[in-house]
Amino acid sequence: SSVLLGNSQSFTATVTNTTDTSVRWSVNGLPGGSASTGTITTSGVYTAPPDLPSPTTVQVTATSQADATKSATAQLTVVSDIAITLGPPTASVELGATQGFQAAIGSAGHPDNTVRWSISGATCPTACGTVDLSGNYTAPGILPSPASVTLTAQSVADPSKQASAVISITSHFTLQ
């Protein structure tokens, strides 16, 4: 089966031929799981991590308390339905000026909403400006050629998901 980033799924285990029907739960061999692969409670509720694990398939195992050689394993795929929107989709920024961009993560799950910002273009990395961790782009002080760059917001939870905006760098500088 599959589960969305950050969502939960319940598992049940049935132990027969013993009076001790309790089990120990593990994810990928770790009792209780881990932050990177997902966690599982003593009652068998698995919670997917907020960031896609690598690989995306994890193993949930129930091991008999009465006989540790007896266990059952289910494979579970952690999936992403993340969509990123970036605003504004285009911008014109004066030399040395700053323009703020906002990235929004949409998902039916509970993913990590952090994004990584990057700038690309023919004049990068030396003359394309900078972007901070909050998505504020600052144009360079000297007009590059060509005078445009692409700003990209990439999901930390699912790096395959990203959105980009085209930025035109302008100069209204005149010599008198």
DSSP state of 56: S
The token duo for 94 is: 């004066």
What does DSSP say about strands 38-40 and 33-34: parallel, antiparallel, or unpaired?
A: antiparallel
Query: What pLDDT band is residue 62 in, cutting at 50, 70 and 90?
Result: very high
Express each pLDDT in 131-146 by its tens digit: 999 999 999 999 999 9
CA-to-CA distance for 43 and 99, rounded, in angstroms? Answer: 49
pLDDT of 126 reads: 87
